[in-house]
Amino acid sequence: MSQPVILTCALTGSIHTPSMSPHLPITPEELIEQGLAAAEAGATILHLHARDPQDGRPTADPAVFRQFLPALKQHSDVILNLSTGGSSRMPLAERMQAALQTEPEMCSLNMGSMNFGIFPLAERYSDWQHAWETELLEGSRDTVFKNTFADIETLLTQLGQQRGVRFEFECYDVGHIHSLAWYVRQQQVQTPVFLQFVLGVLGGIDAAPEQLMHMKNTADRLLGAENYHFSVLAAGLKQMPLGTMGAIMGGHVRIGLEDSLYLNKGQLAPSNAAQVHQIRHILEALGYRLASPAEARQQLGLKGKQQVNF
């Protein structure tokens, strides 16, 4: 319990759609409101996607990001972490444009290509607001999220080396940890690295305690425990239990409506801040405390909010 827990809140993502929850933030104004509330509740990092303000579909348009990034920066000290994952239908050149132009402190970096199956969600709903929602979900049956080694190296070079961005390395399976370890050995990635163990996405490792332990043991073996920090993202109702387990194992936690729309089974989360309050209550009851943005910036070696381009 010597280190405070870095709490990442992923506000909206590109998996859930407007018909699934009225509380999912869509517009820049909603992202600002929910982002600042999550930061006030204790979130250390905000993991950010953007959506078309008109119909809520995922977008990587830098102009949309610029409608909410400055306000989040101005009114909070929270760390802003831009997704380079976008959605599986976007090519890399599109997915990385916002980060290239805004030069944030952090970006996500998916450590490999994979099947990313979100089509089972379509079976749970019937009343759709927009035609694109079912098209996106069902389309994932025959869509590969592409992040090849060449793509990874493009991100490492253009964002990391050229713009001073540090990464949240998203690992959806143990092979992704192996790939990251290779880049560390090649000195293309500097330690300590920040791993995000992602469990529960169809096509990746499943959300089970045994798998989280396997991910941690693999990272210890390939990277060395002293060379990385890790956080735990578990999809759906495994979000809170496995996040708590990750903190007990010495790691950090990611929550947010990108990863789960619920507080408890059958109970929609009314906001991202509600999930922050819930995990904060759990962690503090166990004797942990949440890291401040200043503590996280020092721990993760970030360049600081004054060095961004927004």
pLDDT tens figures, 227-283: 999 999 999 999 999 999 999 999 999 999 999 999 999 999 999 999 999 999 999
DSSP β-bridge partners for residue 167: 107
Q: Looking at the predicted structure, is the pLDDT value of residue 222 above 60?
A: yes
* Torsion on CA atoms 273, 279, 281, 285, rounded to nearest 10: -170
Q: How far apart are CA 89 and CA 91, in angstroms?
A: 7
Closest CA to 243 of 283, 203, 277: 283
* 50-73: pLDDT as tens digits: 999 999 999 999 999 999 999 999
Q: How far apart are CA 253 and CA 230, in angstroms?
A: 8
Q: How many percent of the chain have pLDDT more than 90? A: 98
The confidence score (pLDDT) of residue 191 equals 96
**Inter-residue contact 41 to 277 (CB < 8 Å):** yes
Domains contained in the chain, CATH given: 7-307 (3.20.20.70)
Q: Looking at the predicted structure, is the pLDDT value of residue 174 above 60?
A: yes
Query: Residue 1: which pLDDT band, with cuts at 50, 70 and 90?
Result: low
Q: Looking at the predicted structure, is the pLDDT value of residue 44 above 70?
A: yes
Q: How far apart are CA 302 and CA 32, in angstroms?
A: 22
Q: What is the average pLDDT across 286-291?
A: 97
Q: Looking at the predicted structure, is the pLDDT value of residue 181 above 60?
A: yes
Mapped onto helix, strand or coil, the DSSP state of residue 180 is helix
Q: How far apart are CA 147 and CA 155, in angstroms?
A: 10
Long-range (24+ apart) CB contacts under 8 A made by 129-134 are 129/17, 129/18, 129/19, 129/55, 129/56, 130/17, 130/18, 130/19, 130/55, 130/56, 130/57, 132/55, 132/57, 133/17, 133/18, 133/19
The confidence score (pLDDT) of residue 247 equals 97
**192 upstream amide cis, omega within 30 of 0:** yes
Q: Which residues of 285-295 are buried (b: 16+ CB within 10 A; e: fewer)?
A: eeebebbebee
Q: Looking at the predicted structure, is the pLDDT value of residue 2 above 80?
A: no
